[in-house]
Amino acid sequence: MNTPTILKKTGNFTNPKVCPSCQHTNYAWDEDVRYLYCYNCGVASDLAFNRTLNESLKTDDFPYYSFLRVGQILHLEEKEFIITARLRYRSAHKEYYTSDEGSGYSNETWYSDTYILQNTQEGKSERFYLNEDKEGYSLGMPVTVDKTDADPTNLELFTNFYEGRADYRVTEYGSLFLEFFEGKTEKEDPYAVGTQTHFATYQEGMWSYTVEQGDGWKEFSAEKKISKEELYQALEGNPFIDTYKERDNGFSTIRKVTSAAAAIAFLIFLVSLFSDGTPISSTKVDTKNIDKKEGYLSKPIKIDDTSTNYNIEWSVNFKSTQNQGMYIVVELLDKEKNVINAVESDFWYESGYDEGNWTESETSSSKYFKFTEEGEYFARIYAKTDSTYFTNLTKSQAIINFTVNEGALLSRYFLMLSGFLTILALLISFGKIGRTIREKYIYAGINAESEE
Query: Average pLDDT of 181-208?
Result: 76
Question: Is the pLDDT assigned to residue 11 strictly greater than 50?
Answer: no
> Please, which residues have CB within 8 angstroms of residue 316's CB and are 6 or more apart in sequence?
326, 328, 347, 363, 364, 383, 398, 399, 400, 401
Question: Is the pLDDT assigned to residue 265 strictly greater than 70?
Answer: yes
Q: How high is the pLDDT of residue 212? A: 85
Q: How high is the pLDDT of residue 8? A: 28
Q: How high is the pLDDT of residue 281? A: 92
CA atoms of 124 and 32, how far apart (whole Å):
41
CA atoms of 47 and 31, how far apart (whole Å):
12
> Please, which residues have CB within 8 angstroms of residue 328's CB and are 6 or more apart in sequence?
314, 316, 344, 345, 347, 381, 382, 383, 400
pLDDT classification of 2: cutoffs 50, 70, 90: very low
Q: Which residues pair with 352 in a beta bridge?
A: 358
Question: Is the pLDDT assigned to residue 441 strictly greater than 50?
Answer: yes
Q: How high is the pLDDT of residue 299? A: 93
Question: Is the pLDDT assigned to residue 380 strictly greater than 90?
Answer: yes
Query: Average pLDDT of 198-220?
Result: 80
CA atoms of 44 and 53, how far apart (whole Å):
6
CA atoms of 43 and 105, how far apart (whole Å):
34
CA atoms of 390 and 318, how far apart (whole Å):
12
For the chain, the average pLDDT equals: 77
Query: Which pLDDT tens digit goes with each residue over 38-70?
Result: 667 767 676 766 766 655 667 777 888 888 888
Q: How high is the pLDDT of residue 377? A: 95
pLDDT classification of 394: cutoffs 50, 70, 90: very low
pLDDT classification of 209: cutoffs 50, 70, 90: confident
Query: Which pLDDT tens digit goes with each residue over 226-259?
Result: 998 899 889 887 777 777 777 777 777 877 887 7
Q: What is the DSSP string of 145-210?
A: -S-----TT-HHHHHHHTTT-TT--EEEEEEEEEEEEEE---TT----TT-EEEEEEEEETTEEEE
CA atoms of 295 and 290, how far apart (whole Å):
5
Query: Which pLDDT tens digit goes with each residue over 67-119?
Result: 888 888 899 988 899 888 889 999 988 888 888 888 888 888 899 999 999 88
CA atoms of 15 and 26, how far apart (whole Å):
9
> Please, which residues have CB within 8 angstroms of residue 308's CB and are 6 or more apart in sequence?
370, 406, 407, 411
Q: Which residues pair with 365 in a beta bridge?
A: 314
Question: Is the pLDDT assigned to residue 165 strictly greater than 70?
Answer: no
- What is the second-level CATH architecture of the domain 278-407? Sandwich (2.60)
Determine if the pTM surpasses 0.75.
Answer: no
Question: Is the pLDDT assigned to residue 146 strictly greater than 60?
Answer: no
Cα 284 to Cα 251, 296, 400, 424, 448: the distances in Å are 57, 10, 6, 46, 70
Helix (H, G, I), strand (E, B) or coil at 279: strand
**CB 51 within 8 Å of CB 45:** yes
Helix (H, G, I), strand (E, B) or coil at 10: coil
Q: How high is the pLDDT of residue 21? A: 78
Percentage of residues of the chain with pLDDT beyond 70: 72
- Most confident listed range (181-195, 329-343, 418-432): 329-343
CA atoms of 309 and 415, how far apart (whole Å):
12
- For residue 64, the number of C-alpha atoms closer than 13 Å in the C-beta half-sphere is 14
pLDDT classification of 1: cutoffs 50, 70, 90: very low
Angle in degrees, CA 84, 86, 92, rounded to 5? 145
- DSSP letter, residue 295: B
Residue 388, Cβ density class (10 Å: 0-12 exposed, 13-18 middle, ≥19 buried)? exposed
Q: How high is the pLDDT of residue 171? A: 82
Query: Average pLDDT of 131-151?
Result: 78
CA atoms of 222 and 203, how far apart (whole Å):
10
**CB 126 within 8 Å of CB 119:** yes
Question: Is the pLDDT assigned to residue 330 strictly greater than 90?
Answer: yes
Q: How high is the pLDDT of residue 432? A: 63
pLDDT classification of 4: cutoffs 50, 70, 90: very low
- For residue 300, the number of C-alpha atoms closer than 13 Å in the C-beta half-sphere is 8
Query: Average pLDDT of 367-381?
Result: 90
CA atoms of 196 and 28, how far apart (whole Å):
8
Residues constituting the chain: 452
More confident of the two residues 353 and 82? 82
Cα 439 to Cα 87, 90, 218, 242: the distances in Å are 20, 22, 37, 15
Q: How high is the pLDDT of residue 435? A: 66
Helices 239-273, 412-430: axis angle to 10 degrees equals 150
Q: How high is the pLDDT of residue 134? A: 85
- Most confident listed range (76-85, 166-175, 314-323, 372-381): 372-381
CA atoms of 199 and 220, how far apart (whole Å):
10
pLDDT classification of 15: cutoffs 50, 70, 90: low
Q: 27: closest CA among 189, 194, 171, 257?
A: 194
Q: How high is the pLDDT of residue 27? A: 63
